[in-house]
């Protein structure tokens, strides 16, 4: 199968390209940028006039729920959601049941993903066995089975000693360690940011220091162990500042932020809205602005969906008892492009944070459109706005606070591995 995408505006942050250029793919790879190779004939020509042609999105963290939590979502439903969202590479989190702590589960997920053929699903291995925080997982076997990173999901590690050993062992095999920095003692059963809103609503609160204390600890250990760590889902101004300082000091550390943290604040929790119950919690406007600046200057190199689909019951309880998380695959691109709309990011930077930025954190060849790159492409019309209808999401999880929000950038085509996996419905 060969495809030419013509007349579009090609935006490829990895190569600094933003120009009217055609793109030609043959089989699973890009074969031409601008001119087609000699004697190339396209089986399909996509006219992308007025549209942006960009690398397919790379999402560093999505909980896809299968195996084990199929009542929340399945690989099949979530792969379709990713395709609709223009995401062609997804790292799934290891907190499945069974946990992704051995090669068999990795192979199961990778095999199912290949069969679905909707998006590339890469398993994040567990850092500790059963995510118990005490005993190291078989990281060498996980690496061999195809894991590119390990994490303990949102589960805490038993001690700083376990963390040190885990960082050392993971780095032995060149595995990046994803850490969700949160001091569990300071979290203390909280469910909302310790600020004006939680004070007023009487919600058990999580202080910003729960994150910064853990960031300080993790940075010290990463420096000591010479390990590569990646902070997942930063939420505070202080953590962003510490990250910037650590990077300037030469510590091998990267970070991402959940797309919703760049738009919502603690104010959105008011009225006990369980759709805004997320972990880490929504923080203050100053935190949000600091995170936006860190994304703009590259201190935070990736924006991710932090996708957590839930069944309706999980959110139909009093706020503190609801399960945290947002079904985010279908809004990752829209929320990122809204940052362009609002003037927080330019288009090239915004797209970098969801394509080459996350790919480079793990040294993956995706999220770019050079000759020979994997043929993962998203085509969208920036000017054509769309409105999210939660009831019509492809994800099994309809839990989103963005229902009714209006977004720039209607996706017209998602191409994964050289095949069109999603076509936007023409509404003309």
Partner 1 sequence: MPSPRSSNLQLNEHGRLRHFLTIEGLSRDLLTQILDTAESFAALPGRPVKKVPLLRGRIITNLFFENSTRTRTTFELAAKLLSADVINFNISTSATSKGETLLDTLRNIEAMHSDMFVVRHAQSGAAHFIAEHAAPRVSVINAGDGRHAHPTQAMLDMFTIRKHKGDFTPLRVAIVGDVLHSRVARSQILALNTLGVSEVRVVGPRTLLPTEARALGVHVFHDLEAGVRDVDVVIMLRLQNERMDGALLPNQHEYFRLYGLTDERLEAAKPDAIVMHPGPINRGIEMDSEVADGPRSVILQQVSYGIAVRMAVMSMAMQSQADISGGEA
Active-site annotation holds for 43: no
Provide the minimum distance between the beta carbon of 322 and partner 1 in the complex, in angstroms, as a whole number: 9
Provide the minimum distance between the beta carbon of 390 and partner 1 in the complex, in angstroms, as a whole number: 11
Provide the minimum distance between the beta carbon of 274 and partner 1 in the complex, in angstroms, as a whole number: 8
Q: Between 195 and 408, whose beta carbon lies closer to partner 1?
A: 195
Reference 145, options 120, 115, 124, 119; nearest CA is 124
Provide the minimum distance between the beta carbon of 404 and partner 1 in the complex, in angstroms, as a whole number: 11
Catalytic residue among 95, 183, 306, 360: 306
Q: Between 8 and 274, whose beta carbon lies closer to partner 1?
A: 274
**Helix 209-225 crosses helix 237-248 at what angle (to 10 degrees)?**
20
Q: Between 114 and 184, whose beta carbon lies closer to partner 1?
A: 184
**Sign of the C-alpha dihedral computed for residues 324, 298, 122 and 106 taken in this order:** negative
Provide the minimum distance between the beta carbon of 243 and partner 1 in the complex, in angstroms, as a whole number: 24
Report whether 233 contacts 305 (CB < 8 A).
Answer: no
Reference 125, options 108, 156, 103; nearest CA is 103
Could you tell me which residues come within 8 angstroms of residue 74 by beta carbon, excluding any fewer than 6 positions away?
64, 65, 66, 396
Q: Between 236 and 299, whose beta carbon lies closer to partner 1?
A: 236
Cα angle value 138/323/111 (rounded, 5°) = 40
Residues that bind partner 1 (CB under 8 A): 194-196, 198-204, 207, 270-273, 313, 316-321
Q: Tokens 């118990």: give the residue.
A: 132
Identify the helix (H) or strand (E) that includes residue 419. strand 419-423
Q: How far apart are CA 35 and CA 17, in angstroms?
A: 15
Q: Between 205 and 246, whose beta carbon lies closer to partner 1?
A: 205
Structure-block tokens of residue 209? 């220091």
Q: How far apart are CA 100 and CA 150, in angstroms?
A: 9
User: Which residues belong to the active site?
Assistant: 306
């Amino acid at each position: 199968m060969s495809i030419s995408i013509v007349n579009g505006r090609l935006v490829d942050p990895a190569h600094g390209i933003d120009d009217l250029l055609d793109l030609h793919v043959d089989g699973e790879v890009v074969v031409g940028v601008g001119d087609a190779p000699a004697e190339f004939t396209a089986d399909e020509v996509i006219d992308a006039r007025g549209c942006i042609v960009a690398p397919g999105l790379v999402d560093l963290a999505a909980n896809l729920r299968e195996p084990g939590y199929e009542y929340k979502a399945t690989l099949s439903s979530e792969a379709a959601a990713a395709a609709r969202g223009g995401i062609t590479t997804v790292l799934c989190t290891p907190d499945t049941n069974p946990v992704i702590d051995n090669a068999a589960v990795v192979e199961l997920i990778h095999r199912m993903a290949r069969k679905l053929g909707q998006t590339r699903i890469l398993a994040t291995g567990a850092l500790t066995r059963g995510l118990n925080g005490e005993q190291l997982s078989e990281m060498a076997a996980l690496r061999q089975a195809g894991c590119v990173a390990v994490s303990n999901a949102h589960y805490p590690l038993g001690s700083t000693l376990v963390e040190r050993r885990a960082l050392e062992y993971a780095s032995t095999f060149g595995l990046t360690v994803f850490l969700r920095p949160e001091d569990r003692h300071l979290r203390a059963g909280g469910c909302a940011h310790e600020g004006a809103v939680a004070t007023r609503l009487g919600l058990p609160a999580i202080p910003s220091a729960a994150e910064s204390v853990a960031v300080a600890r993790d940075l010290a250990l990463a420096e000591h162990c010479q390990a590569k760590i990646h902070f997942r889902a930063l939420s505070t101004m202080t953590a962003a500042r510490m990250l910037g300082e650590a990077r300037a000091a030469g510590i091998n550390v990267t970070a991402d932020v959940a797309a919703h943290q760049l738009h919502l604040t603690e104010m959105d929790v008011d009225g006990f809205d369980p759709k805004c119950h997320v972990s880490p919690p929504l923080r203050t406007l100053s935190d949000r602005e600091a995170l936006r600046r860190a994304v703009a200057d590259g201190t935070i190199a990736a924006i991710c969906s932090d996708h957590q689909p839930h069944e309706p019951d999980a959110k139909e309880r009093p706020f503190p008892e609801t399960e945290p998380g947002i079904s985010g695959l279908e809004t990752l691109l829209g929320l990122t492009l809204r940052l362009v709309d609002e003037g927080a990011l330019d288009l090239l930077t915004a797209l970098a944070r969801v394509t080459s930025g996350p790919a480079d954190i793990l040294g993956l060849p995706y999220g770019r459109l050079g000759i020979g790159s994997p043929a993962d492409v998203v085509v969208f019309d920036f000017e054509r706005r769309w409105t999210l209808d939660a009831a019509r999401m492809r994800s099994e999880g309809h839990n989103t606070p963005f229902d009714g929000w209006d977004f720039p950038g209607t996706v017209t085509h998602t191409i994964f591995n050289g095949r069109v996996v999603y076509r936007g419905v023409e509404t003309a």
